[in-house]
Amino acid sequence: MATSEMKSYSLSEMKDKFIGEKGTEKRENYEYELRMDVLGRMIKTARQERNLTQEQLGELVGVKKSQISKLESSTNSATIDTIIKVFKALKAEINFNVTLENQILKLS
């Protein structure tokens, strides 16, 4: 009985093949949208855990409910300043790590 082996691919290989290799515009857009989606879900989860409505969070941050809605649904690119304000209003810790020429810079 002949057996055929299936080739398996890593997630990175699949992204390279179907989305584009790292550094290409299509891949960079994909990665950015993915990060914004994760960030939006984190904001929504933290807001719900604090029993806040989008309107209440918006008032704490100084923005309209619609901007909170856009952040949560990842349809809006937000400034770092707005993201920091949102997480501070949620009393959540946020950290940014930046690697610059093999040095890690942290912003808390």
Question: 58 - beta bridge partners?
Answer: none
Comparing 78 with 69, which gets the higher pLDDT? 69
For the stretch 61-76, pLDDT in tens is 999 999 999 889 876 6
pLDDT of residue 108: 54
Report whether 68 contacts 87 (CB < 8 A).
Answer: no
pLDDT at position 75:
65
Threshold 0.75, pTM exceeds: no
Summarize pLDDT for 42-54 with one digit per residue, the tens: 899 999 999 999 9
20-107 — its CATH code?
Answer: 1.10.260.40
Residues 66, 58: Cα–Cα separation, whole Å: 8
**For the chain, what are the domain ranges?**
20-107
| DSSP character string of 23-83 | TSHHHHHHHHHHHHHHHHHHHHHHHHHTT--HHHHHHHHTS-HHHHHHHHTT-S---HHHH
- CA angle 9/15/20 to nearest 5° reads 130
